[in-house]
Chains A and B, each alone.
Chain A
Amino acid sequence: MCRSYRIPGLVVAAMAILISQSFPLQAAEVTRGAMLGTSCAGCHGTDGRSPGSIPSISGKSAEFLEQILKGFRSGEIPSTVMGRHIKGYTDEEIRLIAEYFASM
């Protein structure tokens, strides 16, 4: 499939219309935010709702999440595992992850 960063927005929009017309009942598109965010669920629970000792993270504001995640990354906020884990993501990815959990 085409990756959106290689094609201008208008073309993407036009393609989306074309696709939706040629496959009228098929429309689910998994977002990059969901791709990144669902991987956290192994520790934080489905949709960020944790049944155990790891804190729940669903429904917190995107600003709060972005700030705390960057705090873990810089080491400013001490952690057992989050600091190691969150070093795997860019600023843009952290923004998408924060938006994803804020929408839960």
Chain B
Amino acid sequence: MSKLSRRGFIRLAGTAGALSAMGALAWPLGGCQKKAKAGGRVIVVGGGFGGATCAKYIRKFDPAVEVTLIERDARFVTCPFSNLFLVGGRSFESISHGYDKLGDNYGINVIRGAVTDIDAAAKKLTLKGSKTMQYDRLVVSPGIDFRWDAIEGYDEAACETVPHAWKGGPQTRTLRKQLEAMQDGGVVIIVPPGNPFRCPPGPYERASLIAHYLTQNKPKSKVLILDAKDKFSKQGLFMQGWEKRYPGMIEWVKASAGGKIDRIDMAKRTLYAEFGEAHTGDVVNLIPPQKAGELAHKAGLVNADGWCPVNQRTFESSVHKDVYVIGDASIAGQMPKSGYAANSQGKVCAAAIVSSLSGTAMPDPSYVNTCYSLVAPDYGISVAAVYNVTEEGIRKVKGSGGLSPMDASDEFRKKEADYASGWYASITADMFS
């Protein structure tokens, strides 16, 4: 980190600024403990889309702040582009990322460990193995966990044979193996949850790419979507793409037509709807209803619905002072639960924390989100929006964003597919290097 990378980020207020800029210059040469302490101690829990971004941008905004990032896993496997991995379009390595550069380039203290408890009154957290750590400000970005009691017959052990593949890593591999082992003529069933959940277009991108794989490898097979909803994200665009690329292969059953599943017979892989017929799949991908990551529950950061209410200007918890919750776990007005949303929230939260620690004014927040989806490896679509904060919380800026056009040319869809992988390269670099 050098003076160069600070340029343009911050306004320096008088002589104090000059001092702190000198601190920043001196830092890579030997550290300056005193200044780091003066800037404050921030701990970020969870090195995913929200947490890794927030840790990095706190250091970019103000190198005087000491930042520790605590992450359970050695490497982060992204959910974005895991649907392409699922059908052989990407390597596992290409969707896995390490934390070394956050230490080397930004001076972040990266610790591998699981946080088991937070004592907000004492500003202290506990790690597995009972080590404790003090903080001035805490950021929690734990992602999601599942409501294992929501679908009768399905639990954490069951996901070894009926995978959700809704967290990056081993689950995605399990689902891929099952798709590869399936005979031609088989039925793949995808069961998306009701709102709100992580990545609203994700199940339909998955259905698309599985259909792409089946068309090429097992053309007599089918994809059946049994949905807990009556409509879904980018529906018109997806359905147009399915008609064009996979006519007759994907069937979508909406909730009110008998798609809402409430029970599974694990032995037979048979799914039972509240009403309507039962369905048996050769491969079943059951994506259960979700809630904020377990840690948020343990720390008492959630409301009755299981998600974390926050001040949508700063992402400070509405429950505990000096604790911030970002990403999927948070309630963020009109923003969806996406990686780009978590990345954007991470930066606003970093600005809020740096401002509160230094006693300076925080600029009005601005958020963005774009979700690219692949209907096929060469067929991309997107939904975009810019957000600001109003009296009602985070709201879309009127007139901003929207969907890719319907009936666009093949060339346009190809360009968006290329930009989708460009987005992936940029956002993962923005998080990890």
- B 362-385 binary contact with A (CB < 8 Å = 1; else 0): 111111101000000000001011
Report A102 CB to chain B, min CB distance, Å: 8
A34 B61 Cβ-Cβ under 8 A: yes
Q: Which residues in B have their C-beta under 8 angstroms from that of A30? A: 9-10, 61, 351, 354-355, 360, 362-363
B9, B362, B382: which has the most chain A beta carbons within 10 Å?
Answer: B9
**Known: A20-B13, A50-B426. Is A35-B363 also a contact (CB below 8 A)?**
yes
B30 interfacial contact with A, CB 8 Å: no
Contact of A19 among B11, B360, B364 (CB under 8 A): B360
Report how many residues on chain A are interfacial, defined by Cβ distance under 8 Å.
51
Q: Which residues in A have their C-beta under 8 angstroms from that of B424? A: 52
B9 A84 Cβ-Cβ under 8 A: no
B359 A42 Cβ-Cβ under 8 A: no
Report B327 CB to chain A, min CB distance, Å: 13
**Known: A4-B361, A30-B351, A32-B363. Is A52-B426 also a contact (CB below 8 A)?**
yes
Q: Which of B109-117, B221-229, B303-311, B342-350 binds A?
A: B342-350
**Known: A20-B17, A41-B430, A47-B5. Is A27-B361 also a contact (CB below 8 A)?**
no
Q: CA separation between A85 and B73, bound complex, in Å?
A: 34
Q: CA separation between A84 and B5, bound complex, in Å?
A: 29
**Known: A16-B14, A17-B14, A84-B400. Is A35-B364 also a contact (CB below 8 A)?**
yes
A8 interfacial contact with B, CB 8 Å: no
Q: Which of B151-159, B193-201, B411-419 binds A?
A: B411-419
Contact of B361 among A1, A23, A43, A89 (CB under 8 A): A1
**Known: A29-B360, A39-B344, A42-B427. Is A19-B13 also a contact (CB below 8 A)?**
yes
A85 B386 Cβ-Cβ under 8 A: yes
B10 A52 Cβ-Cβ under 8 A: no
- A 74-104 binary contact with B (CB < 8 Å = 1; else 0): 0000001100110111000100000010011
Report A100 CB to chain B, min CB distance, Å: 6
A1 B386 Cβ-Cβ under 8 A: no
Q: Which residues in B have their C-beta under 8 angstroms from that of A11? A: none
Q: Which residues in A have their C-beta under 8 angstroms from that of B419? A: 43, 53-54, 80-81
B29 interfacial contact with A, CB 8 Å: no
Chain B interface size, under 10 / 10 to 19 / 20 to 34 / 35 or more: 35 or more
B257 interfacial contact with A, CB 8 Å: no
Report B266 CB to chain A, min CB distance, Å: 39
Q: Which residues in A have their C-beta under 8 angstroms from that of B382? A: 80-81
B57 interfacial contact with A, CB 8 Å: yes
**Known: A29-B358, A81-B370, A88-B386. Is A43-B423 also a contact (CB below 8 A)?**
yes
Q: Which residues in B have their C-beta under 8 angstroms from that of A93? A: 366
B20 interfacial contact with A, CB 8 Å: yes
Report A35 CB to chain B, min CB distance, Å: 4
- A 8-52 binary contact with B (CB < 8 Å = 1; else 0): 000000001101111111111111111111111111111100111
B215 interfacial contact with A, CB 8 Å: no
Closest residue to B347 on the A side, CB-wise?
Answer: A38
B386 A54 Cβ-Cβ under 8 A: no
The 10 closest A-B pairs by CB, nearest first: A88-B386, A88-B400, A52-B425, A53-B422, A28-B62, A103-B8, A52-B422, A54-B422, A29-B360, A26-B358
A–B pairs, 10, beta carbons within 8 Å: A16-B14, A20-B14, A25-B39, A27-B20, A34-B8, A46-B433, A81-B404, A87-B400, A87-B401, A88-B387
Interface residues of A (CB under 8 A from B): 1-4, 16-17, 19-47, 50-54, 80-81, 84-85, 87-89, 93, 100, 103-104
Given contacts A4-B361, A43-B423, A51-B429, 6 further A-B contacts (CB under 8 A): A1-B362, A2-B361, A20-B13, A44-B426, A53-B418, A87-B400
